[in-house]
């Protein structure tokens, strides 16, 4: 029963590893997206506005040290005694605003280019001026105070969001294409027929392909998590990230069943690849692999529920980065296995050993 | 002698096409048996039924004493199959290829190397199969069919598409294999190949077996005239005609050809007249047998 399993797996694995195109599309290509998304949108939060101080602004310079420290947390202040040069820098967008003091009036020069930053600068300056006014009026303990706290760090950083999604997509590509291409090329090249004439069980042949696909998926997982965890990208896994392993195994089976179905209809590898693409690409978009679907219309989100990738992505997000417990992945695992069973059964009904 | 294959009244249709239409034949143990006929004669379908790839519509088929259909796990290790297309796993070397097949039959790697040696591919063991020439790929495919030491080997047009030298090399290999006690069943559309290799042949056309027997017997049974030709200009057509009564003479200006059923007298007369320059004597071939059976040229 085990005879042939390891040698067939080995033959398939060697065939995969030596196929540069397959290696590229299942590992390197999704990884490029990870590097791209993870790198591009690394700092999605608004950075500190930079402000030019023209000459001396007594209001800033005479602030008590603790006040000045608070100010430096929200604004970056740069000195430039040349008024024209400073205003020019603001016009070009190098700085968000320029500040000068004329007597008791603090003048703020800003451009409307970045409304968010100039808004912040106005607000900050307003409060600085108000504070100064209060102090000069003798109010040292204001009745009301505002305590502002940032919550951004507790929400998902880009890398946290894109790693599970892109990993899911990579696994979908690998398992779907792997199953479809093996089926079609082995049928076309009569390898299936040759195997049928050898004392091997059909389950052994299928088992070998499943073992190879799961192996590839787990390697993809290791590579993705490894790269995303580099300090540059800064992926932080939550406690139960390892629940992604059974999830990925179940999802691999589901994607393979899609591939087998595509392979049952296709006669040539080209057709198989086209059909698989036609399924995998829309599925990846609708499953939130590339961008969140929160803004999508409700009907689209309902449609996306039929895709196994959607459930894999959601469940991986939950256990890998959102810190949900291991039990949270179980419904998704059940769904994925059910999908694999149903679609796999249909594919096995359509299975043909031969072209004719 | 025990029967290795027994086929009785085999029928197989695809829709309206009778691919095999009542074939009956036996193959003895240790025999080199050829099924020959033009493309579309039903050879491959017959072979596929014997291998257990297809179910016969009707008729009795036993291979090594068992029915090959449905897929018989006990039978499979005893037969070796070389398919018409060289079906190899992608991107594997010759050695990896044969090792994979060997392990499917529970055979060790040492035997694989022996087989590569036997088919003369030891120096190509680490070459990917995609890079092998047609003849090398064909030999590897035969090695894969033989790696588990089967009692019975099926070869489906093993030399098609090969150059003459590669064909001859392969013939030597096939004769050796048969000499080692493997029963060989081969389909071919090369009549010369069947004549050289096979102990017995069955001539097929339109799904029927027209005649079977040892090639020499079939040819002799034809009672076809022997064709004797010499260089033109040594003897006139009229002179040639007068040597024997049944002589049919043609002279195309290059050769003068005499067709006769009494070649001895013609040859001695030609020798007497010293007119034997460029002598060639050609008996009938399987091609003539086919022509006689079907009334049309083989190809």
Instruction: Please tell me the predicted confidence (pLDDT) of residue A152.
Output: 44
- Three-state SS at B212: strand
Query: What sign has the CA pseudo-torsion B82, B84, B40, B220?
Result: negative
Strand order in the sheet with B255-260: B248-251, B255-260, B226-231, B280-282
Which one of A197, A202, A209 makes the best mutation probe of the B interface by having the most chain B beta carbons within 10 Å? A197
Residue A141 has pLDDT above 90, yes or no: no
> E strands, B106-198, where?
152-156, 183-188
Q: Is B166 helix (H, G, I), strand (E, B) or coil?
A: helix
- On the CB side of A87, how many CA atoms lie within 13 Å of its CA? 6
Lowest mean pLDDT among A41-50, A93-102, B102-111, B208-217: A41-50
B95 touches B124 (CB < 8 A) = no
Residue A149, pLDDT > 70, answer no
The CATH 3.40.190 domain(s) of chain A lie at 50-153
| Chain B residues with at least one Cβ partner in A under 8 Å | 51-53, 71, 73, 76-77, 79, 81, 83-85, 87-92, 96, 99-101, 103-106
A117 pLDDT exceeds 80? no
Lowest mean pLDDT among A140-144, A275-279, B25-29: A140-144
Instruction: Tell if the CB–CB gap between A3 and B103 is shorter than 8 Å.
Output: yes
**Confidence at A100, pLDDT banded by 50, 70, 90:** confident
ipTM summary value = 0.81
Q: Do B81 and A18 touch (CB under 8 A)?
A: no
Interchain contact, A194 vs B96, CB within 8 Å: no
**What would the mean pLDDT of A82-99 be, rounded to a whole number?**
84
Q: Do A193 and B99 make contact, defined as CB atoms within 8 angstroms? A: no
- Establish if A28 touches chain B: CB-CB under 8 angstroms: no
What pLDDT is stored for residue B290 in this prediction? 84
The Cα of B160 is separated from the nearest Cα of chain A by a number of Å equal to 17
Q: Which residues contact A40 (CB under 8 A, 6 or more apart)?
A: none
Q: How many CB pairs under 8 A join A and B?
A: 67
**What is residue A155's predicted lDDT score, i.e. its pLDDT?**
53
CB contact under 8 A, B85 and A190: yes
- Return the pLDDT at B72: 83
**Is the Cβ–Cβ distance between B51 and B82 less than 8 Å?**
no
Q: Name the minimum distance, in Å, from the CA of A316 to any CA of chain B.
A: 34
pLDDT bracket for residue A64 (50, 70, 90): confident
Residue A206 makes CB contacts below 8 A (sequence gap 6+) with none
Q: How confident is the model at residue A69 (pLDDT cuts 50, 70, 90)?
A: confident
* pLDDT surpassing 70 at residue A200: yes
Rounded mean pLDDT, B139-144: 89
pLDDT value at position A45?
53
Cβ–Cβ below 8 Å for A189 and B105: no
pLDDT of residue A356: 62
- The predicted-structure confidence for B212-269, as pLDDT tens digits, reads as follows 999 989 888 888 888 999 998 888 888 888 888 888 898 888 999 999 988 898 999 9
Sequence-distant (6+) residues with CB within 8 A of B250 are B256, B257
How many residues does the structure list for chain B?
A: 299
Q: Is A5 touching B (CB cutoff 8 A)?
A: no
Of A10, A11, A197, which is closest to B81 when you measure between CB atoms? A197
* pLDDT score, position A44: 55
pLDDT tier, A245 (very low <50, low <70, confident <90, very high otherwise): very high
A142 pLDDT tier (thresholds 50, 70, 90): low
List the domains of chain B with CATH numbers: 3-215 (3.40.50.300), 225-283 (3.30.70)
Which residues of chain B lie closer than 8 angstroms to A353, CB-CB? 53
Longest dimension (CA), chain B: 71
Yes or no, beta carbons of A193 and B87 under 8 Å apart? yes
Q: Does A150 or B275 have the greater pLDDT score? A: B275
Contact B53 A193 (CB under 8 A): yes
Cβ <8 Å between B103 and A185: no
Q: Is the pLDDT of residue B32 over 60?
A: yes
Is A196 near chain B, with CB under 8 Å? yes
B53 in Cβ contact with B154 (< 8 Å): no
Asked whether the whole model's pTM tops 0.95, one would answer no
Contact A54/B at CB under 8 A? no
Q: What is the mean pLDDT of residues B61-84?
A: 88
- CB-CB under 8 Å, B85 with A196: no
Question: How far does B250 lie from chain A, in Å, by closest CA?
Answer: 50
* pLDDT for the residue A42: 67
Query: Among A31-45, A276-290, B20-34, whose mean pLDDT is lowest?
Result: A31-45
Average pLDDT over residues A236-253: 94
Nearest Cα of chain A lies from the Cα of B38 at a distance, in angstroms, of 20
| pLDDT value at A3 more than 90 | no
Render the burial of A11-27: b for 16+ CB within 10 Å, e for the rest: bbebbbeeeeebeebbb
pLDDT at A1: 45
Check pLDDT > 90 for residue A279: yes
Mean pLDDT of A259-274: 92
pLDDT for residue A315 is more than 90: yes
The minimal CB distance from B104 to the residues A12, A190, A198 is found for A198
CATH code for the structural domain at A50-153: 3.40.190
Q: What is the mean pLDDT of residues A265-276?
A: 91
Say yes or no for a CB contact (<8 Å) between B77 and A199: yes
Higher pLDDT, A63 or B63: B63
Residue of A nearest to B45 (CA): A356
Judged by CB atoms closer than 8 Å, whether chains meet at B51 and A197 is answered as yes
Distance in Å, alpha carbon of A270 to nearest chain B alpha carbon: 16
Say which of A3, A10, A18 has its CB closest to residue B91: A18
What residues in A contact B79, CB-CB < 8 Å? 197
A199, A208, A269, best to mutate vs chain B, most B CBs in 10 Å: A199
Q: To 10 degrees, what angle do helices A330-349 and A244-265 make?
A: 20
- Whether residue A168 contacts residue A287, with contact meaning beta carbons closer than 8 Å, is answered with yes
Task: Write the CA distances from A265 to A252, A257, A273, A316, A343, integer angstroms.
Answer: 20, 13, 11, 31, 13
The mean of the pLDDT values for chain B is 88
Q: Does A197 touch chain B (CB under 8 A)?
A: yes
Average pLDDT over all residues of chain A: 86
Residue A46's pLDDT is 55
CA angle A8, A166, A158 (to 5 degrees): 155
pLDDT at A208: 93
On chain A, the residues whose CB falls within 8 A of the CB of B76 are: 197-199
Q: Are A120 and A49 in contact (CB under 8 A)?
A: yes
Measured between beta carbons, the chain B residues lying within 8 angstroms of A19 are 90-91
Residues A250, A218: Cα–Cα separation, whole Å = 12
Distance, CA of A177 to CA of A275 (rounded, Å): 10
Please choose, from the candidates A6, A192, A209, the residue with its C-alpha nearest in 3D space to the C-alpha of residue B100.
A6
Is A223's Cβ below 8 Å from some Cβ in B?
Answer: no
Full 3-state SS string of chain A: CCCCHHHHHHHHHHHHHCCHHHHHHHHHHHHHHHHHHHHHCCCCCCCCCEEEEECCCHHHHCCCHHHHHHHHHHCEEEEECCHHHHHHHHHHCCCCEEEEEECCEEEEEECCCCHHHHHHHHHHHHHHHHHHHHHHCCCCCCCCCCCCCCCHHHCCCHHHHHHHHHHHHHHHHHHHHHHHHHHHHHHHCCHHHHHHCCCCCHHHHHHHHHHHHHHHHHHHHHHHHHHHCCCCCCCCCCCCHHHHHHHHHHHHHHHHHHHHHHHHHCCCHHHHHHHHHHHHHHHHHHCCCCCCCCCCCHHHHHHHCCCHHHHHHHHHHHHHHCCCCHHHHHHHHHHHHHHHHHHHHHHHHCCCCCCC
Whether A190 and B71 lie within 8 Å, measured CB to CB? no
Per-residue DSSP letter, B150 = -
pLDDT at residue number A10: 92
Q: pLDDT digits over A9-50, tens only? A: 999 999 999 999 889 999 999 999 988 888 777 655 556 778
Q: Which residues of B touch A199 (CB under 8 A)?
A: 73, 76-77, 104-105
* CB-CB under 8 Å, A185 with B87: no
End-to-end CA separation in angstroms for chain A: 29
Model confidence at A219: pLDDT above 90: yes
Q: Which residues of A touch B87 (CB under 8 A)?
A: 189-191, 193-194
Asked whether A190 and B87 are in contact (CB, 8 A), the reply is yes
Q: Which of A59-73, B152-166, B241-255 has the lowest mean pLDDT?
A: A59-73
Q: Identify whether the C-beta of residue B285 lies closer than 8 Å to the C-beta of residue B192.
A: yes
Give residue A156's pLDDT. 63
DSSP bridge pairs for B292? none
In this structure, of A73-87, B34-48, B203-217, the range with the lowest mean pLDDT score is: A73-87
Percent share of chain B, pLDDT over 70: 98
The per-residue pLDDT for A262 is 93
Give A190 to chain B, closest Cα distance, Å.
5
| Direct distance between the N- and C-terminal alpha carbons of chain B, in angstroms, rounded to an integer | 36
- Identity of the residue in A14, A185, A196 whose CB atom sits nearest the CB atom of B71: A196
């Amino acid at each position: 029963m085990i005879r042939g399993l390891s040698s067939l797996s080995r033959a398939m694995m060697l065939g995969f590893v030596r196929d540069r195109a397959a290696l590229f599309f299942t590992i390197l290509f999704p990884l490029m997206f990870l590097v791209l998304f993870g790198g591009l949108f690394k700092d999605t939060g608004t950075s500190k506005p930079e402000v030019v101080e023209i000459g001396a602004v007594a209001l800033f310079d005479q602030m008590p040290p603790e006040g000045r420290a608070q100010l430096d947390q929200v604004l970056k202040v740069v000195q430039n005694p040349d008024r024209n040069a400073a205003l020019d820098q603001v016009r070009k967008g190098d700085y968000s605003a320029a500040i000068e003091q004329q007597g008791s009036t603090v003048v703020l020069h800003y451009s409307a280019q970045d409304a968010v930053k100039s808004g912040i600068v106005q607000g900050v300056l307003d409060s600085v001026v108000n504070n100064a006014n209060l102090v000069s009026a003798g109010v040292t303990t204001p009745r009301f105070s505002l305590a502002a706290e940032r919550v951004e760090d507790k929400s998902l950083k880009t890398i946290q969001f894109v790693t599970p999604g892109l990993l899911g997509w990579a696994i979908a590509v690998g398992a779907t294409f792997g199953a479809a291409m093996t089926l079609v090329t082995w049928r076309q090249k009569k390898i299936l027929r040759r195997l049928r004439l050898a004392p091997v069980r059909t389950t052994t042949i299928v088992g070998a392909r499943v073992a190879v696909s799961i192996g590839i998926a787990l390697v993809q997982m290791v590579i993705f998590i490894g790269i995303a965890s580099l300090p540059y990208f800064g992926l932080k896994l939550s406690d139960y990230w390892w629940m992604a392993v059974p999830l990925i195994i179940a999802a691999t089976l589901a994607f393979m069943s899609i591939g087998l179905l595509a392979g049952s209809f296709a006669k040539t590898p080209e057709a198989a690849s086209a059909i698989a693409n036609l399924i995998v690409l829309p599925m990846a978009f609708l499953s939130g692999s590339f961008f969140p679907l929160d803004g999508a219309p409700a009907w689209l989100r309902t449609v996306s529920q039929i895709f196994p990738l959607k459930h894999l992505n959601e469940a991986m997000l939950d256990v890998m980065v959102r810190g949900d417990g291991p039990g949270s992945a179980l419904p998704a695992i059940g769904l994925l296995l059910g999908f694999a069973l149903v679609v796999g059964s249909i594919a096995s009904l359509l299975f043909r050993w031969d072209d004719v | 002698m025990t029967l290795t294959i027994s086929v009785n009244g085999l029928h197989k249709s695809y829709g309206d096409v009778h691919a095999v239409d009542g074939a009956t034949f036996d193959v003895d143990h240790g025999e080199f048996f050829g099924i020959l006929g033009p493309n579309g004669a039903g050879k491959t379908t017959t072979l596929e039924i014997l291998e257990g790839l297809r179910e016969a519509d009707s008729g009795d088929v036993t291979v090594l004493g068992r029915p090959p259909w449905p897929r018989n796990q006990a039978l499979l290790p005893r037969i070796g199959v070389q398919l018409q297309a060289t079906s190899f796993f992608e991107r594997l070397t010759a050695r990896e290829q044969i090792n994979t097949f060997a392990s499917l039959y529970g055979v060790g790697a040492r035997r694989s190397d022996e087989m590569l040696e036997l088919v003369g591919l030891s120096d190509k063991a680490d070459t990917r199969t995609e890079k092998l020439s047609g003849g090398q790929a064909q030999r590897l495919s035969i090695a894969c069919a033989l790696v588990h030491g089967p009692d019975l080997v099926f070869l489906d047009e093993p030399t098609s598409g090969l150059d003459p030298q590669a064909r001859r090399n392969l013939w030597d290999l096939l004769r050796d294999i048969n000499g080692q006690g493997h029963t060989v069943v081969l389909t071919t559309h090369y009549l010369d190949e069947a004549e050289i290799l096979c102990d017995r042949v069955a001539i097929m056309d339109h799904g029927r077996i027209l005649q079977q027997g040892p090639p020499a017997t079939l040819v002799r049974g034809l009672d076809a005239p022997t064709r004797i030709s010499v260089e033109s200009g040594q003897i006139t057509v009229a002179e040639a005609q007068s040597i024997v009564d049944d002589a049919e003479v043609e002279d195309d200006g290059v050769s003068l050809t005499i067709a006769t059923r009494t070649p001895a007298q013609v040859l001695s007369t030609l020798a007497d007249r010293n007119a034997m320059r460029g002598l060639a004597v050609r008996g009938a071939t399987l091609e003539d047998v086919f022509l006689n059976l079907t009334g049309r040229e083989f190809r």
